[in-house]
Amino acid sequence: MTPGFGLARAIWIALSSLVAALALAGLAHAQKPDAAPQQLAPNACDLAFNNRCDDPRRGGTGLCPLGGDYADCEGREMGATPLATFFGYDDRQLFDTGAWPWRAIGQLRFDTGATCSGSLIGEDVVLTAAHCIVHFGAVVTEGEFVTARNQSGGPVRARIVEGHILDTVREDPDMQRFFRENSDWALLKLDRPLGAELGYLGVETVSDNRPLRRDLISFIAMAIITFIASFALQGTQRRVLRLLAAVGILVLAGFAARTFFGEDPRLERVWQAGYSGDTGENLSGSDDCRLLEFRASGLIGHNCDTVVGDSGSPLLVRRGEDWAIIAVVSHMSRDAEEEGFGQIQIVDRAYAVSSSVVPDPDAVFADGQ
């Protein structure tokens, strides 16, 4: 072996050892927990949905981490996806969970790793979707309710100690493929009375009044015909029939006035707020969506933009300074339906579940039932 070859070999071994040492050091550093890249939901930044790009990767202000402001930097023309239902444009915004009524809406974090949304409707009772707690036919409620992240001293949290499914949806043959059970409302009992501190929302029933309008027109027409027909009778029979017809007309006219001149629920402004799967710990939702369809089963079609994680979140209406829940998001994405002869129709709405009666938490959880 020549001296030159031995020197070159020594230098090669030394360089190889140095490279190996650096590689091992780099691998060890990369495996440290604090060195792992932070995993962010695409709109987890507190400035997401402010109509200004705050992601430095897209030339934004740099106030959001990389990938933290997707909606404002990449665009909101999202369309329908398996995990989200946007009606042409993502209209969501972030709500301040330190303010009313948003502090009464929280995230359900189950020990299984699943998440949903829910609303306080009592001091220690949360309303959510039944499918959030049903797993393989069994009710699984182990987890916690977290809310009021932006409130002083927040976030506020409580453990779930009990769950109860409410039968709210009647048989709907056209929609059975969406439901494993014939209901999608559930009440959860907490181990702390968060509602006493944060406040809680009421529940209001809502329905379409158009069929009632048609029925009232028919009944009033019958009453008028009865009154006119009474002229063909004599004596007592005429007076009794006239009296009955007159009373009927007055009663039905009162109902008609309330129905015809009352608020059409399809025109009413509706809010939706939940913990979307792409917004991290931020509460997101729509502040101006509409009800589109009322099914006899209790399902309500709407056009609020929702994402996985919004299941169980409320549809809200405002009554002056008060707010009320009228339905629970079932997170049923709009879908394509075949009409026949290969024709496909897009059902341009999502569905929430209304309540035929206002739930009574005290009755549901009485005696531990």
- Choose between 140 and 25: higher pLDDT: 140
What pLDDT score was predicted for residue 18? 44
Confidence (pLDDT) at 152: 87
Question: What is the mean pLDDT of the segment spanning 195-200?
Answer: 95
- The Cα-based distances of 131 to 128, 135, 139, 163, 329 in angstroms read 9, 8, 9, 12, 11
Q: Is 366 helix (H, G, I), strand (E, B) or coil?
A: helix
pLDDT range class, residue 41, cuts 50, 70, 90: confident
Where do we find the tokens 């559930």? 186
What is the pLDDT, as a whole number, of residue 216?
A: 63
User: Is the separation of the CB atoms in 188 and 106 below 8 Å?
Assistant: no
Q: Range with the lowest mean pLDDT among 97-111, 209-223, 239-253, 284-298?
A: 209-223
Amino acid identity for residue 212 in this structure: L
Question: Which of 27-36, 72-81, 152-161, 170-179 has the least mean pLDDT?
Answer: 27-36
What pLDDT shows up at residue 239?
Answer: 76
Euclidean distance between CA atoms 202 and 323, whole angstroms = 7
Query: How high is the pLDDT of residue 19?
Result: 39
Q: What confidence tier does 369 reach under pLDDT thresholds 50, 70, 90?
A: very low
Instruction: Kindly report, residue by residue over 321-334, the tens digit of the pLDDT.
Output: 899 999 999 866 55
**Can you give the pLDDT at residue 261?**
59
The residue written with tokens 């939901």 in the block is 41
Residue 47 is predicted with a pLDDT of: 93
Mean pLDDT for the stretch of residues 48-53:
93
Distance CA 359, CA 369 (A): 15
Residue 5: which pLDDT band, with cuts at 50, 70 and 90? very low
pLDDT (tens digit, 9 = 90+) per residue, 94-148?
Answer: 999 999 999 999 999 999 999 999 999 999 999 999 989 988 878 899 999 999 9
pLDDT for position 58:
81
CA distances to 163, 221, 293 from 327, in Å? 19, 35, 13
pLDDT of residue 349: 79
75 pLDDT higher than 90: no
CA distance 160 to 125: 9
Residue 319, helix vs strand vs coil: strand
Q: What pLDDT, on a 0 to 100 scale, did the predictor assign at position 298?
A: 81
Q: What are the percentages of helix, strand and coil residues in the chain, rounded to 5?
A: 30, 30, 40
- The two structure tokens encoding residue 121: 């409707």
